[in-house]
Structure 1
Amino acid sequence: MITKTFKIMNPAGFHVRPIKTFVQAASQYPCKVNVINKGKKVNGKSSLSMLTLGIAAQDEVTLEIDGEQEEEAMKTLGDLLVQIHE
């Protein structure tokens, strides 16, 4: 298992559109993906679960990835967390 923390750079936070992109990318990997924000941990492959985190701009979000292709998943998903989306 690997864990890494990322700062959300999008001024609008991590809203529906970036969550959809994140979940689609996470679902491509066979590993388990958890996202943690303010002490709450959810399944990173579930849009509804991700929405419950209420991720805002400048929040520090931790990715916890375990299983096959975890290194590749961490790079891809971490990049998505810090991108600025419209």
Structure 2
Amino acid sequence: MVEKEVIVKNPHGLHARPAAVFVQKAASFPCKITISKNDKEVDAKSILAVMSLGVEPNEKIILRADGDKEEEALEELIKICENIEM
């Protein structure tokens, strides 16, 4: 299992379009992926779960991946969280 603390730099946080892009990318990996914010952990492959966290710009989240391609998955998802042009 790998985990990384990330500051969401996207000006929209993880709402609507950024959340959809994030979930679509997470679903493309075979490993289990979760997001945690304020001690609440959700499945990163569920759009409703991701949006329920209400991640705003400049908030800290923890991404965890466990299984095949876990490091690659985390790397790609961090890019989405840090993309300020989305």
How would you bin the TM-score normalised by the shorter chain?
over 0.9
Tell me the percent identity: 36
- Regions of 4+ moved over 2 Å: none
Equivalent pair of 1:33/1:63 in contact (CA under 8 Å)? yes
User: Over residues 35-63 of structure 1, what are the superposed CA-to-partner deviations in whole Å (9 max), with x where a residue is unaligned?
Assistant: 00111100000000001000011110110
User: Over residues 1-52 of structure 1, what are the superposed CA-to-partner deviations in whole Å (9 max), with x where a residue is unaligned?
Assistant: 0000110112332211000000000001000000001111000000000010
Q: TM-score if structure 1 supplies the norm length?
A: 0.94
Report the counterpart of residue 13 of structure 2 in structure 1: 13
Report the counterpart of residue 74 of structure 1 in structure 2: 74
CA distance, structure 1, for counterparts of residue 26 and residue 14 of structure 2: 15
Structure 1 residue 85: deviation in Å? 4.1
Q: TM-score if structure 2 supplies the norm length?
A: 0.94
| Structure 2: 5+ residue stretches without partners | none
Distance 1:49 1:85, change over 3 A: farther
